[in-house]
């Protein structure tokens, strides 16, 4: 029987890669629902006509009305944030791929987990903000979260078949981003510089997060929730080649690593096909052409965002929520050239320092904290 998919974030870089994998296995998958936001209506129309979903979610009524003239009559169009939750809980869907950017993925991820859907998760912010609630919901419904991030997919595969109590530590690899060996003044970094990632092709927000190393900090929090491991047992190492995606070290000294070329279709095909493996379309490794695999210690003075995230993890409570919110606001302000590159860290740090820690117990409380974090971040930006 075909797996029936709801893809949230179909026109982004992850969404496009998901549909590339699906197109290679049309006998295995049925696309029931697509959701897209942003400025690529032509791409969404193309996806609808190719994959024939029964329902599509867009951002607002105006977009929905414009779309109607270009797609088949039988396709239902819904709009607004709540429509993401509706798609994530459709009775005819069994697998939800969450590939939307930012905290917008929180509500649909929680709803999918509560409804017992298999979740292929490419939205780390959901677990950063609501990890306790989402993982608890998944346990109650008996479903599973399968990571799509390359690092977490690698960890997932490296621990499968092994006892978690035999693990000594998890090691997330980082390319170093565009500024690891940057010799210039980081205060003069332009948006175009930050978007020039050396190995991965990603969306703008995650590419800037990679440049500040916030992406790796968020991944530590995500890994902690996904695998039930204390964050102090999750290390980060710079690996510029991006061939080893993560490693797990066991108490007997053995280290298990996952290697592949940097192509998101690899972890996507693993998540969609699990427990089977599917042809993904990525090139195979040619070890004769790999001159070396190198590793370097992460310099937390050069990338203070990691140190800040570690502090936030130690203090816990609502801090990860407001930190994530502040980072989203600061990154988009940088992309709009309203603040400088180094100001991203300043904004996030200031919000973390101003926030009074609480312990949210519901999605509604988390969303209110997210609003608070955004308000504080905008206040800090206005004062710069």
Q: Which alpha helices (H) appear in the chain, and where do they start and end?
A: 13-23, 41-51, 61-68, 81-88, 106-114, 124-141, 150-159, 191-194, 204-212, 214-227, 265-273, 304-315, 319-335, 341-354, 363-383
pLDDT-based confidence at residue 119 (cuts at 50, 70, 90): very high
**Average pLDDT for residues 73-84, to the nearest whole number?**
95
Residue 193 has pLDDT above 90, yes or no: no
pLDDT one-digit tens code per residue, 317-329: 999 999 999 999 9
pLDDT one-digit tens code per residue, 128-152: 999 999 999 999 999 999 999 999 9
Please indicate, yes or no, whether residues 309 and 179 belong to a single structural domain of this protein.
yes
pLDDT-based confidence at residue 367 (cuts at 50, 70, 90): very high
Identify the weakest region by mean pLDDT among 36-50, 222-236, 324-338, 362-376: 36-50
Residue 172 has pLDDT above 90, yes or no: yes
| Domain termination residue (choose one: 147, 166, 184) | 147
Establish if 375 belongs to a structural domain. no
Residue 373 has pLDDT above 80, yes or no: yes
SS3 221: helix
Establish if 324 belongs to a structural domain. no
pLDDT one-digit tens code per residue, 56-77: 999 999 999 999 989 999 999 9
Please indicate, yes or no, whether residues 222 and 310 belong to a single structural domain of this protein.
yes
Please indicate, yes or no, whether residues 242 and 287 belong to a single structural domain of this protein.
yes
Question: Rounded distance, CA 384 to CA 381, Å?
Answer: 5
- Domain extent at residue 42: 3-147
Provide the percentage of residues in the chain whose pLDDT is more than 90: 86
Please indicate, yes or no, whether residues 309 and 262 belong to a single structural domain of this protein.
yes
How far from the centroid of its chain's Cα atoms is residue 24's Cα? 23
pLDDT-based confidence at residue 24 (cuts at 50, 70, 90): very high
pLDDT one-digit tens code per residue, 216-226: 999 999 999 99
Cβ neighbours of residue 24 closer than 8 Å, sequence gap 6 or more: 278, 279, 280, 281
Residue 278 has pLDDT above 70, yes or no: yes
Residue 184 has pLDDT above 90, yes or no: no
Please indicate, yes or no, whether residues 232 and 189 belong to a single structural domain of this protein.
yes
Residue 199 has pLDDT above 70, yes or no: no
Establish if 265 belongs to a structural domain. yes
Question: pTM for this structure?
Answer: 0.94
Cβ neighbours of residue 97 closer than 8 Å, sequence gap 6 or more: 5, 6, 7, 8, 9, 15, 18, 119, 120, 122, 148, 271, 272
pLDDT one-digit tens code per residue, 229-254: 999 999 999 999 999 999 999 999 99
Question: Rounded distance, CA 322 to CA 367, Å?
Answer: 10
The CATH number of whichever domain residue 7 belongs to comes to: 3.40.50.720
- Rg of the chain (C-alpha set): 20
SS3 100: coil
How do 118-121 and 145-147 pair as beta strands? parallel
Q: Kindly report the number of other CB atoms within 10 A of residue 230's CB atom.
A: 8
Please indicate, yes or no, whether residues 160 and 96 belong to a single structural domain of this protein.
no
Please indicate, yes or no, whether residues 203 and 292 belong to a single structural domain of this protein.
yes
Please indicate, yes or no, whether residues 294 and 156 belong to a single structural domain of this protein.
yes
Residue 201 has pLDDT above 70, yes or no: no
Question: Rounded distance, CA 364 to CA 362, Å?
Answer: 5
SS3 94: coil
Please indicate, yes or no, whether residues 162 and 279 belong to a single structural domain of this protein.
yes
Cβ neighbours of residue 148 closer than 8 Å, sequence gap 6 or more: 14, 97, 99, 120, 121, 122, 264, 267, 268, 271
Q: Is 354 exposed, middle or buried (0-12, 13-18, 19+ CB in 10 A)?
A: middle
Please indicate, yes or no, whether residues 160 and 11 belong to a single structural domain of this protein.
no
| Mean residue pLDDT across the chain | 95
Please indicate, yes or no, whether residues 100 and 171 belong to a single structural domain of this protein.
no
- Give the largest CA-CA distance in the chain: 63
Please indicate, yes or no, whether residues 159 and 292 belong to a single structural domain of this protein.
yes
Overall number of domains in the chain: 2
Residue 200 has pLDDT above 90, yes or no: no
Establish if 380 belongs to a structural domain. no
């Amino acid at each position: 029987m075909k797996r029936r998919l709801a893809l949230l974030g179909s026109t982004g870089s992850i969404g496009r890669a998901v549909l590339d994998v699906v197109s290679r296995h049309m006998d295995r998958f049925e696309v029931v629902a697509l959701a897209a936001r942003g400025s690529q209506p032509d791409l969404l129309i193309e996806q609808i006509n190719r994959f024939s979903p029964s329902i599509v979610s867009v951002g607002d009524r105006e977009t929905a009305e414009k779309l109607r003239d270009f797609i088949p009559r039988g396709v239902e169009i819904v709009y607004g944030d709540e429509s993401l939750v509706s798609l994530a809980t459709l009775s005819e869907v069994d697998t939800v791929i969450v590939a939307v950017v930012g905290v917008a993925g929180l509500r649909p991820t929680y709803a999918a987990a509560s409804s017992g859907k298999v979740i292929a998760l490419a939205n780390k912010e959901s677990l950063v903000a609501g990890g306790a609630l989402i993982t608890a919901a998944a346990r109650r419904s008996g479903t599973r979260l399968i990571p799509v991030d390359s690092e977490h997919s690698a960890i997932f595969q490296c621990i499968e078949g092994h006892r978690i109590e035999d693990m000594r530590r998890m090691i997330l690899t980082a390319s170093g981003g565009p500024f690891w060996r940057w010799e210039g003044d980081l205060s003069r970094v332009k948006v175009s510089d930050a978007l020039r990632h050396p190995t991965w092709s990603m969306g703008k927000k995650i590419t800037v997060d990679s440049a500040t190393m916030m992406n790796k900090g968020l991944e530590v929090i995500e890994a902690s929730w996904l695998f039930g491991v204390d964050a102090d047992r999750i290390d980060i190492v710079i690996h510029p080649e991006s061939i080893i995606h993560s490693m797990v070290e066991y108490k007997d000294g053995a280290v298990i690593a996952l290697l592949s070329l940097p192509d998101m279709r690899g972890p996507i095909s693993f998540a969609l096909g699990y427990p089977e493996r599917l042809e993904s379309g990525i090139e195979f490794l040619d070890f004769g052409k790999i001159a070396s695999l190198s590793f370097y210690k992460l310099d937390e003075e050069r990338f203070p965002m990691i140190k800040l995230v570690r502090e936030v993890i130690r203090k816990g409570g609502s801090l990860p929520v407001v930190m994530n919110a502040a980072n989203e606001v600061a990154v988009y302000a940088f992309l709009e050239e309203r603040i400088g590159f180094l100001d991203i860290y300043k904004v996030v740090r200031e919000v973390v320092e101003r926030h009074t820690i609480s312990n949210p117990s519901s999605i509604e409380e988390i969303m209110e904290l997210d609003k608070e974090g955004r308000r504080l971040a905008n206040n800090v930006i206005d004062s710069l």
